[in-house]
Structure 1
Amino acid sequence: MTGKWGGRTALLAGFFVILLDTTIVAVASPAIQAELKPDVAGLFWVTAGYLLAFSVPLLVLGRLGDRFGPKRVYLVGMAGFGVASALCSLSPSVGWLIAFRVLQGLAAAAMAPQPLTLIRRLFAEDERGRALGVWGSVAAAGALLGPVAGGLLTATLDWRWIFWVNVPLCAVALLLGLRLTPGSPGRATRFDVPGAMASTAGLSLLVWALLSWRSLSLLAAGLSAVLLLFFFRRERGEGEEALAPLELYRSPGYSSASLAMAALGATVLAMALPTMLYVQDVRGFGPVEGAAVLAPDALVAMVLSPWTGRWVDRIGPRRPAVAGMVLLTVSLLIVGLVVVLRLNAWWVAAGAAVLGAANALAWAPLSVTAMGSVAPSMAGAASGLFNTVRQVGAVAGVAATGAILAGPAARPTPAFGMVFGLITLTAVAGTVAAVRLPKTLTEAEVATGERLP
């Protein structure tokens, strides 16, 4: 037991580093622009390059965890993240910074699928909710501390310190991982090189098309569709050796959890930027007030997430997941009404508090259901595919809201109203998917045809 729970602590340390880095960079963007002098497109790709590199290789790296062992791939990713962070801090130009941010994204992609795989293998069914419940608290802490730490480091030292701070954090997480995370042996399998190439190229073009909004985006999307069609046709004949085994979607638990998680990822990430733009550019809030109005999201999630994990272990995943997705819809309705009816902008804080409860309630049961619905031999592939669906959903949400806000810029209130209308509908779709989850993981076991350990 000590090994399992100690290992979870080590995995959480790495997860915290990724979340902190994701939220810390945005605050330093003006300082980066002032020193390195990028144009708007260059500054955009400091973040977009990381997101592209993080999203695309998750399928391949999840499968590599099956082959070489998830602990080994996780530790390599953690070491790579620390090295890439140091290189980011030394960047002499924005071009080099973008290149090193891409390396950071690749390292984060190596780390991201492995914790779910390890938890699936190490923890019994009645422990997984508790093992994953604290994940939401750590995510919320990263989301809350990132902007604060980024602001303090940039104001008192230099923007480069937002990357330097990752180096000691990665070193600590690496040592914890080496000492505390139990090993899980890999499995000798044939690696599908043509499938890996097709999926990587197809997803790269898809994510680039979603992020770029350029005239070439339609061509990139078309090429992406051809490559991904080839990939999925090839996967049909690969069986358990497939990078993305399509039989995973025969499980109602896995397919419903994936769809609900995609909706959760799309809405949560897509609403953050328009909310901050609205309260500052339209309603006149300053940066401190803007941060304060969203702070209840992280605070509520930090408090509720561990409790949610225990609830999932006791009553099963469906009711907490449905409650979380319903609250997600309610939170977006609250913020949307503030925009459309021009209510007091501080009501956004109420929506943020409800959003925090939604995150806490939905994250653990969706992850538990997805990983509990697959055979242990498929855990790495299932985790990689689950994370890929979530990340592509998040990219699509950001791209859609960015396209709307870039359109009717002369009439900002209708544009923000359209944004919140779209992401609210996405949350409703995610709620419908959550309703289709199995009541208990015993039902998920039956769907896989393999008893869980």
Structure 2
Amino acid sequence: MRALGGAASKWGGLVALLAGFFVLLLDTTIVAVASPRIQADLGGDVAALFWVTAGYLLAFSVPLLVAGRLGDLFDPKRVYLVGMAAFAVSSALCGLAPTIEWLIAFRILQGLAAAAMSPQPLTLIRRLFNEDERGRAFGIWGSVAAAATLLGPILGGLLTASLDWRWIFLVNVPLCAIAVVMGIRLIPGSPGGVARFDLIGAALSTAGLTLLVWALLSWDALSLPAAAIAVALLVGFWIRERGQGADALAPLRLYRSSGYLNASIAMASLGATVLAMALPIMLYLQEERGFGPFEAAVALAPDAVVAILLSPPAGRWVDRVGGRRPATLGMSLLAVSLLLMGLVVVSGLNPWWITVGAALLGAANAMAWSPLSAIAMASVDPDAAGGASGLFNTVRQVGAVAGVAVTGAILAALAARPVLAFGVVFGFILLVAVGGVVAAFRLPARVRAAASV
């Protein structure tokens, strides 16, 4: 498939997509630093404060499959811009929330809007760029993601300290408005598809994923039965999808492609391990080694800094040599960085060695993100790109939720023996990372070698 438009329109469209993506990721990381002020202002217990973030995560994770398919049917540009406008409105509502309960409700709306936006850029980048340019585009994409991750806590701290916690949400409104105007002018549209929307499949997947993600986040007495029901619903969804052909909500046939299957496994591993390691590292540095919040953030800052610097050249490397070598190197660096940080935590080495592990983690993100995304999207037919993107994002997001949930459960169960708890946690995430290395090694040698399904 040839890319649409000339060089100026391609890169202008990418800038418009990155503007919206930056706002989405900024809001994912900006909230944590303001949590104490939110609780002091609105009240509520720790459980309510937890659901300010967990509610967003739940609403963001569950509808990704549906959102990807809607992009196929109604044009990814249109769905993306509607999601961006809804994100602006829900952000304003969050900033005006009178109670903690209303804030949780508005955060859920914000998560739904983010889910509508999230799968569309992968589809649009596939449309905008030829195969030999996508690595560079995804590399720039990864650099912006790292910048948003780095700037989120900093901007959140500045806004909360100088103005009020409400501005961490209100600042999204003008940023979204700029992104919408840019998107209307610069992102190319399409007439959409003609396939039928599978309402039964949407109901099964939404109910199953809701129960699964809720069970992973909650870890209470109802989690096990909820997870069992979720598995039954998702099995029913799989059976339903097998008979839908071109109308499938999630094109599971894509897993016949080695490129799409192994890119999905590796990306889930990357998402799970990167998020899972953040909590134990922060707990270790602040509770065991006496770091303040700012010092702990500085110790992990090399992750984002290195990713910002390396993502664009890593993307160009993918265009030259294909995806397997960069992805395998990136996932291997991920395993090495986790091993190093785990040794620091368990062995009591100088805690500033964690900065070296964080730098390696940034290099891993830069090397792995671009080829995994590029190979996954090169493995699909153009008409199924939205569904493929939704499925790819869903696997990554559920993997991340599962990683965080298992890590939290281990830390809670072994709270009386912190050294053992940290050791078990890093053993678990290192095992997940090794699985990602194996998946990356099994990728096609070149992006264009991933046959269309």
TM-score (norm 1): 0.98
- Superposed, 1:75-90 pairs within 5 Å as 75-90=81-96
Q: Aligned pair 1:236/2:242, yes or no?
A: yes
- Superposed, 1:420-439 pairs within 5 Å as 420-439=426-445
Describe the superposition over 1:397-445 as per-residue Cα deviations: whole angstroms up to 9, x where unpaired: 0000111111111121211111111101100000000000000133212
Amino acid at match of 2:51: W
The offset of 1:310, in angstroms, is 0.5
Counterpart residue number, 1:12: 18
Decide which of 42, 49, 62 is 2:48's aligned counterpart: 42
Amino acid at match of 1:392: V
Q: Which runs of 5+ in 1 are unaligned?
A: none
- Superposed, 1:251-266 pairs within 5 Å as 251-266=257-272
Aligned residue for 2:176, secondary structure, equals helix
CA distance in 1 between counterparts of 2:424 and 2:131 reads: 42
Decide which of 58, 68, 73 is 1:62's aligned counterpart: 68
Amino acid at match of 1:303: L
Counterpart residue number, 2:361: 355
Amino acid at match of 1:42: A
Aligned partners of 2:266 and 2:439 also within 8 Å: yes
CA distance in 2 between counterparts of 1:415 and 1:85 reads: 37
Amino acid at match of 2:179: A
TM-score (norm 2): 0.98
Aligned partners of 1:54 and 1:108 also within 8 Å: yes
Describe the superposition over 1:94-129 as per-residue Cα deviations: whole angstroms up to 9, x where unpaired: 110000000010000000000000111221110111
CA distance in 1 between counterparts of 2:191 and 2:407 reads: 43
Identity across the alignment (%): 72
Aligned residue for 2:249, secondary structure, equals coil
Counterpart residue number, 2:161: 155
Decide which of 276, 284, 303 is 1:278's aligned counterpart: 284
CA distance in 2 between counterparts of 1:184 and 1:102 reads: 30
Counterpart residue number, 2:335: 329
CA distance in 1 between counterparts of 2:252 and 2:300 reads: 39
Counterpart residue number, 2:39: 33
Aligned residue for 1:28, secondary structure, equals helix
Amino acid at match of 1:435: F
Aligned residue for 2:59, secondary structure, equals helix
Q: Aligned pair 1:413/2:449, yes or no?
A: no
Aligned partners of 1:129 and 1:311 also within 8 Å: yes
Aligned length: 447
Decide which of 89, 92, 99 is 1:93's aligned counterpart: 99
Q: Aligned pair 1:117/2:123, yes or no?
A: yes
Amino acid at match of 2:335: T
CA distance in 2 between counterparts of 1:233 and 1:173 reads: 39
Counterpart residue number, 1:316: 322
Moved >4 Å (runs of 4+): none
CA distance in 1 between counterparts of 2:155 and 2:251 reads: 41
Amino acid at match of 1:385: L
Describe the superposition over 1:75-107 as per-residue Cα deviations: whole angstroms up to 9, x where unpaired: 000000000000000111111000000001000
The offset of 1:36, in angstroms, is 1.1
Counterpart residue number, 1:179: 185
Aligned partners of 1:118 and 1:184 also within 8 Å: no
Aligned partners of 2:259 and 2:379 also within 8 Å: yes
Counterpart residue number, 2:79: 73
CA distance in 2 between counterparts of 1:56 and 1:27 reads: 25
Amino acid at match of 1:114: Q
CA distance in 2 between counterparts of 1:147 and 1:341 reads: 29
CA distance in 1 between counterparts of 2:300 and 2:266 reads: 23
Aligned partners of 2:195 and 2:246 also within 8 Å: no
Deviates more, 1:190-199 or 1:412-421: 412-421
CA distance in 1 between counterparts of 2:69 and 2:291 reads: 46
Counterpart residue number, 2:233: 227
Describe the superposition over 1:302-326 as per-residue Cα deviations: whole angstroms up to 9, x where unpaired: 0000001110000000000000000
Deviates more, 1:425-434 or 1:406-415: 406-415
The offset of 1:189, in angstroms, is 1.3
CA distance in 2 between counterparts of 1:314 and 1:184 reads: 30
Aligned residue for 2:31, secondary structure, equals helix
